[in-house]
């Protein structure tokens, strides 16, 4: 019996250290800044251990049974800790407090373990012998855990499964303890049921850890996830609910099939109507093939050069049945010349000229993307646009970020373009703005071709160029590579939206 | 029975520290490709240890330039400007550029060379006429109509965002985490800025600015030079600066430019960093630095290409032999493994002071060079890390999406960990016409200023490639937890004697020494010239260029 108890000291010491390492590691993964969180978590954990060991003085009655229950409890809470924290991070407010609370709870339970063992053993051993043996085994267990955690467990099992594994070990200690001390236990059935249930729960967790992780991520987005993928550039996620398919890049909504036609029709048909010729089109971005679908409605568009950074996006929109239905298999068009390159680098090296240029980039939310809205970039577009040619650029929300919107127009004008601003309402995004741009003043008599549309036509477009008072033109600075005003404006305006 | 609990706690936290320090290295450091290299020490140490050859010379040349770094290439550039075409540049490394060299990283498809050292220069002051001329010739200055505010080529000026700093897990714009500082610290920083602005405006009784770049153009006014008698740290404390922020900022800058701790740096040099750059531009914000994806190697390459057929790399000049017929140079061709003897009318030694002393050993006391002691030469590490872009890019503010890259403002040109061990890293693609590269090239800099140089060199030499890689990745992990899994390649370069550490008094001593030497040289019509930033004590492009240019000019004049 004493042998069992001493062995269990080494095992539970390992488990205790593992839970703490998991909490600390996970918090640095999720929250960043490892130093602060590591030391805070160690501090909370150690002080809670003190609290736990103090509390054991109230547990001296039927100590063996209580020890067994503590093992079950440590096993279950410690075992689910990583999964729970991961889920709470996405769904719960005040994540920090929940994290620290959980760490304190586990710490208190772990802190109670060793004193409980000593309470049980003190009747069986000499005090000096007891203390030295218990603590040396305690240290051995801790050392073992600290070595295998980084070398074996994290790389092989991952944090969630490591936690479940050690939870299982804790529960096993409890069950073996029950077996060894069954003569000292009063309520047999209860111990058996709780122990076995804990064991089953943790085993299921261990087996289904990966699925749970995927499930937690899925749940963070509405609807059913039909595709997720990490590419060198971004995380792609496609979700589907009843009548809607949505694309998220790095967690940002790119389109929703319920109203994407409004966006893509307005991106494509007005610019074609304003161009004097539309034989050669340059499409920057747009790997989803939706703008392409609109372009292909025009039979006089003979060739489309598409520069899309991420090959994974076009591959996905060429292969997934739901998505090829959405873009009408436009990415298979023989008119398409598809290039997977960085748009800035490509435009800089390009020597071709085009009748129509469509720039459909992600919003200028950082200094890398901001380069694609700079005067230097627009100077390259000027070189690439034929006389009489017209371009269009998606220009963020003219309602939520009006200063950013007008800054894009100002930057276009600063390189010598004439512009025509317009905007429309997208239910899933809000009010969204665009600029048409060309070398010459944009014609007041655009040549609208009769193609099938659901939203935009000559009559509608006339209303889109009128801006209500709260969105009207305001003086904005020019966005240049050396001074990316736009990125700062964008950041400022959207953070105000977020804090509303 | 609870008495033993604290022991357990103490042990647990120790074990935990051990585990924590284990973590990054266990995440696959071994699998990351790359190498650890440095300058050619064998060849470098052979200089001065080779016996003179009695052979007749294999060839003759009017001017031999020893060293193909910034000083040597600037000398070559100036010789051509003066109409001297018959010269050869000998460089013992296999690439020209010295501290401003670059190499082609072996990671697939990265479109830029990677810097091994200096990464930027600044706008030239109005009085720095040689530097301005170089900038005009290189197209860095595009219009010089307005002498006070010339126009600079925008693509060579650092793009936005210039710098960001990491504190408490959040990246913030600028070099200091202003939002996290106390009001007292911020007030002190403002006082520091205005003190340095005041220093910028100071003009000595000789009409020259107190602080000029190159330093040669600075005032000799005793009031300014009094600063050379104390350390920068002592100066700051004497000025009443107490806060951590000002001292951290000062330390960051001193390590960045001089590889020296403020407590060991001449206050004149410390103030020089903040007060000597007065250059203005008509079309760009004044404080903007000038930089290229490959760092100052861009300038080096322009200068080298213009004289490419006269630059011999892998050629070590191992002795100089002054004779009445000229100066015999023993040149070791490291590729073919043979010696040749070259006879030159004039020699410009564009090499560190220790090399100059070995090549030109004897001569009178007042001609003896000012040699920097190896203990006063700070070693540097420069690590070029290729990392998948999602490992460092953060998404910007709008969604607060949590990416590996981190929280706060997105990637900048210079990315600095507040209170960090290293100086942080520079992003090559930032200055390129690329919005979203697949991979990023980060150049991480660390001067070993806090250790005795001897100790740092010994430690580095005793480290395995794996230790070195772990050391670099540990620092990156501290800035971007989890980045290790995105790292594709780590190439480290160690400069054992990167730059002199100008302590109190050394600037005055150098100044006197240079003045005395100039006098004797003028009197005797010297045939050997020493051109190197070591002669200024500041390892800066502007100093090396100045010495190369002025010595070449004197040299060319003597040839007529």
DSSP A164-200: HHHHHHHHHHHHHHHHHTGGG-S-HHHHHHHHHHHHH
pLDDT in tens, chain A (500 residues): 677 878 888 888 888 888 888 888 777 666 655 567 778 888 999 999 999 989 888 887 788 888 889 989 999 999 998 888 878 876 666 777 888 899 999 999 988 888 888 888 777 777 777 778 778 888 888 888 888 887 788 767 777 888 999 999 999 988 888 888 888 777 788 888 998 999 999 999 998 887 787 777 666 656 677 788 878 787 788 888 777 899 988 778 899 999 999 999 999 999 999 999 999 999 999 999 999 999 999 999 999 999 999 999 999 999 888 898 999 999 999 999 999 999 999 999 999 999 999 999 999 988 989 999 999 999 999 999 999 999 999 999 999 999 999 999 999 999 999 999 999 999 988 999 999 999 999 988 899 999 999 999 999 999 999 999 888 888 889 999 999 999 999 988 988 887 66
Chain A residue nearest residue B390, CA to CA: A233
- B396 vs A: CB within 8 A: yes
Record the tokens describing residue A314, joined without a space.
């076009």
Among A368, A484, A491, the strongest candidate for a mutation testing the B interface, having the largest count of B CBs within 10 A, is A368
Query: Is B399 close to A251, i.e. CB distance below 8 A?
Result: yes
The Cβ of residue B183 has, within 10 Å, a number of other Cβ atoms equal to 7
Alpha carbon distances (Å) from A158 to A92, A124, B482: 23, 40, 13
- DSSP code of residue A485: H
pLDDT in tens, B319-352: 999 898 999 999 999 999 999 999 999 999 999 9
With 90 as the cut, is the pLDDT of residue B401 above it?
A: no
Integer Rg of chain A from CA: 32
Cβ separation A143–B15 shorter than 8 A = yes
User: Cβ of A7 under 8 Å from any chain B Cβ?
Assistant: no
Cβ contact B399–A252 (<8 Å): yes
Q: Does the pLDDT value for residue B4 go beyond 60?
A: no
Q: Give strand pairing partners of A53.
A: none
Write out chain B residues lying below 8 Å of A118, CB-based: 1
Would you say A407 and A362 are in contact if contact means Cβ atoms under 8 Å apart? no
Question: Strand, coil or helix: what is B504?
Answer: coil
Beta-carbon separation of B4 and A135 below 8 A? yes
Whether residue A437 contacts residue A419, with contact meaning beta carbons closer than 8 Å, is answered with: yes
Test the B interface: residue of A19, A482, A496, A497 with most B CBs within 10 Å: A482
Cβ atoms of B14 and A46 within 8 Å: the answer is no
Chain A, nearest residue to B410 by Cα: A366
Contact check, Cβ <8 Å, B16/A17 = yes
- CB within 8 Å: B396 and A138: no
- Give the closest of A42, A147, A369 to B13, CB-based: A42
A33 or B195, which is more confident: B195
Of B26, B159, B168, the CB nearest to A155: B26
How far is B34 from B31, CA to CA, in rounded Å? 10
Q: Inform me whether the pLDDT recorded for B402 exceeds 60.
A: no
DSSP character string of B53-90: P-SPPSEEEEEEEE--SHHHHHHHHHHHHTT---EEEE
Q: Tell me the residues of chain A between 394 and 423 that have a Cβ less than 8 Å away from chain B.
A: none
Q: Which of A20, A232, A480 sits opposite B389 (nearest CB)?
A: A232
| pLDDT value at residue A33 | 52
Please identify among residues 323-382 of chain A the ones whose CB lies closer than 8 Å to any CB of chain B: 342-345, 348, 361, 363, 365-372, 376
**What's the rounded Cα separation, in Å, for the pair A415 and A417?**
6
User: What is the β-pairing status of strands A244-249 and A235-241?
Assistant: antiparallel
* Distances A493 to A250, A400, B163 between C-alpha atoms, Å: 20, 7, 22
For residue B326, which phi and psi values (nearest 5 degrees)?
Answer: 145, -165
Strand, coil or helix: what is B213?
Answer: coil
- pLDDT tens for each residue of B75-132: 999 999 999 999 999 999 999 999 999 998 776 567 789 999 999 999 999 999 999 9
Q: Which residue do the tokens 């309402």 mark? A: A425
What digits encode the pLDDT tens for the residues B14-42? 344 444 443 444 344 557 888 888 898 88
Interface membership of B520 toward A (CB under 8 Å) = no
Q: Chain B residue with minimal CA distance to A371?
A: B435
Contact across the interface for A365 and B481, Cβ inside 8 Å: no
Chain A residues whose beta carbon lies within 8 Å of the beta carbon of residue B412 = 367
d(CA B208, CA B202): 9
Q: What pLDDT, on a 0 to 100 scale, did the predictor assign at position A96?
A: 79
How far is the CA of A164 from the CAs of A115, A160, A206, B272, B307, in angstroms?
A: 24, 7, 5, 60, 68
DSSP assignment letter at B116: S
CB A203 within 8 A of CB A76: no
Q: Does B419 touch chain A (CB under 8 A)?
A: no
Interface contact flag, A28 B481, Cβ < 8 Å: yes
pLDDT at A274: 97
Select from B15, B22, B412 the Cβ nearest to the Cβ of A142: B15
Cβ within 8 Å, pair A367-B401: no
Which residues 130-149 of B have a C-beta within 8 angstroms of A? Answer: none
Q: Which residues of A are catalytic?
A: 360
């Amino acid at each position: 019996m004493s042998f069992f108890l001493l062995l269990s000291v080494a095992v539970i010491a390992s488990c205790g250290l593992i839970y703490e390492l998991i909490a600390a590691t996970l918090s640095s993964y999720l929250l960043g800044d490892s130093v602060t969180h590591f030391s805070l978590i160690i501090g909370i954990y150690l002080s809670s251990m003190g609290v736990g060991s103090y509390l054991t003085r109230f547990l001296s009655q039927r100590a063996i049974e209580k020890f067994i229950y503590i093992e079950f409890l440590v096993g279950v809470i410690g075992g689910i800790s990583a999964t729970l924290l991961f889920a709470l991070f996405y769904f719960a407010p005040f994540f920090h407090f929940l994290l620290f609370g959980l760490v304190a709870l586990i710490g208190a339970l772990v802190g109670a373990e060793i004193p409980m063992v000593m309470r049980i053993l003190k009747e069986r051993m000499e005090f000096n012998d007891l203390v030295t043996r218990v603590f040396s085994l305690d240290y051995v267990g801790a050392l073992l855990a600290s070595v295998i955690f980084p070398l074996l467990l994290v790389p092989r099992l991952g944090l969630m499964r490591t936690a479940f594994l050690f939870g299982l070990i804790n529960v096993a200690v409890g069950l073996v303890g029950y077996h060894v001390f069954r003569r000292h236990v009063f309520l047999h059935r209860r111990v058996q049921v709780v122990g076995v249930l804990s064991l089953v729960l943790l085993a299921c967790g261990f087996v289904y850890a990966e699925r749970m992780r995927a499930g937690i991520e899925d749940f963070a987005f509405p609807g059913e996830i039909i595709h997720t993928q990490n590419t060198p550039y971004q995380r792609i996620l496609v979700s589907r609910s009843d009548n809607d398919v949505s694309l998220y890049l790095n967690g940002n909504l790119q389109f929703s099939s319920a109203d994407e036609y409004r966006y893509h029709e307005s991106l494509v048909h007005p610019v074609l109507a304003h161009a004097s010729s539309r034989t050669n089109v340059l499409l920057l971005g747009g790997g989803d093939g939706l703008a392409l679908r609109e372009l292909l409605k025009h039979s006089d568009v003979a060739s489309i050069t598409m520069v899309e950074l991420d090959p994974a996006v076009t591959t996905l929109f060429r292969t997934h049945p739901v998505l090829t239905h959405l873009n009408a298999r436009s990415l298979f068009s023989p008119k398409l010349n598809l290039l997977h390159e960085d748009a800035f680098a490509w435009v800089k090296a390009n020597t071709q000229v085009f009748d129509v240029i469509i720039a459909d980039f992600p919003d200028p939310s950082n200094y890398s993307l901001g380069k694609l809205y700079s005067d230097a970039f627009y100077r390259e577009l000027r070189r690439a646009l034929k006389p009489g040619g017209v371009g269009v650029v998606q220009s963020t929300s003219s309602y939520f970020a009006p200063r950013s919107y007008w800054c894009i127009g100002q930057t276009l004008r600063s390189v010598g373009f004439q512009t025509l601003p317009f905007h429309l309402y997208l239910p899933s995004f809000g009010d969204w703005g665009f600029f048409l741009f060309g070398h010459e003043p944009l014609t007041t008599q655009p040549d609208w071709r009769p193609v099938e549309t659901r939203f935009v036509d000559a009559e509608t477009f006339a209303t889109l160029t009128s801006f209500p008072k709260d969105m009207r033109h305001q003086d904005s600075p020019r966005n240049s590579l050396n001074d990316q005003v736009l990125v700062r404006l964008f950041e400022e305006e959207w953070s105000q939206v977020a804090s509303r | 029975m609870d008495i033993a609990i604290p022991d357990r706690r103490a042990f647990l936290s120790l074990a935990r520290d051990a585990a924590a320090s284990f973590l990054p290295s266990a995440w696959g450091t071994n699998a990351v490709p790359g190498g650890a290299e440095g300058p050619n020490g064998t060849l470098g140490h052979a200089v001065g240890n080779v016996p003179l050859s009695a052979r007749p010379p294999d060839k003759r040349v009017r001017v031999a330039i020893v060293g193909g770094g910034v000083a040597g290439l600037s000398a070559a550039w100036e010789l051509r400007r003066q109409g001297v075409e018959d010269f050869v540049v000998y460089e013992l490394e296999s690439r020209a550029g010295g501290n401003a060299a670059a190499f082609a990283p072996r990671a697939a498809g990265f479109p830029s060379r990677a810097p091994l050292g200096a990464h930027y220069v600044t706008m030239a002051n109005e009085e720095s006429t040689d530097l301005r001329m170089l900038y005009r010739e290189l197209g860095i200055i595009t219009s010089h109509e307005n002498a006070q505010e010339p126009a600079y080529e925008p693509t060579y000026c650092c793009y936005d965002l210039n710098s960001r700093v990491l504190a408490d897990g959040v990246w913030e714009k600028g070099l200091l985490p202003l939002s996290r500082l106390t009001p007292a610290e911020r007030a002190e920083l403002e006082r520091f800025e205005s003190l340095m602005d005041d220093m910028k405006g100071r003009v000595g009784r000789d009409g020259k600015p107190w602080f000029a770049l190159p330093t040669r153009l600075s005032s000799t006014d005793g009031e300014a030079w009094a600063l050379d008698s104390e350390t920068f740290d002592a100066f700051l404390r004497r000025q009443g600066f107490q806060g951590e922020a000002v001292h951290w900022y000062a330390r960051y800058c001193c390590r960045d430019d001089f590889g020296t701790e403020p407590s060991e740096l001449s206050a004149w040099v410390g103030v020089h960093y903040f007060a000597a750059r007065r250059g203005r531009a008509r079309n760009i914000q004044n404080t903007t630095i000038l930089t290229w994806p490959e760092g100052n190697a861009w300038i080096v390459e322009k200068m080298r290409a213009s004289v490419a057929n006269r630059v011999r790399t892998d050629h070590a000049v191992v002795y100089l032999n002054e004779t009445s017929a000229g100066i015999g140079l023993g040149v070791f061709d490291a590729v073919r493994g043979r010696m040749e003897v070259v006879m030159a009318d004039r020699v410009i030694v564009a090499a560190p002071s220790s090399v100059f002393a070995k090549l030109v050993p004897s001569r009178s006391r007042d001609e003896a060079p000012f040699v920097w002691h190896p203990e006063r030469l700070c070693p540097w590490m420069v690590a070029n890390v290729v990392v998948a872009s999602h490992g460092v890019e953060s998404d910007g503010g709008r969604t607060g999406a949590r990416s590996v890259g981190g929280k706060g403002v997105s990637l900048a040109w210079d990315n600095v960990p507040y209170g960090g061990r290293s100086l942080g890293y520079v992003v090559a693609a930032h200055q390129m016409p690329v919005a979203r590269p697949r991979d990023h090239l980060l150049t991480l800099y660390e001067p070993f200023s806090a250790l005795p140089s001897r100790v740092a060199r010994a430690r580095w030499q005793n480290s395995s490639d794996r230790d070195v890689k772990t050391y670099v990745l540990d620092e990156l992990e501290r800035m971007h937890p989890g980045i290790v899994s995105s790292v594709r390649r780590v190439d480290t370069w160690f400069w054992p004697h990167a730059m002199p550490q100008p302590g109190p008094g050394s600037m005055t001593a150098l100044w006197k020494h240079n003045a005395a030497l100039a006098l004797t040289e003028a009197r005797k019509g010297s045939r050997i010239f020493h051109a190197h930033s070591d002669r200024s004590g500041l390892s800066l492009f502007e100093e090396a260029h100045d010495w190369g240019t002025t010595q070449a000019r004197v040299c060319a004049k003597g040839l007529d």
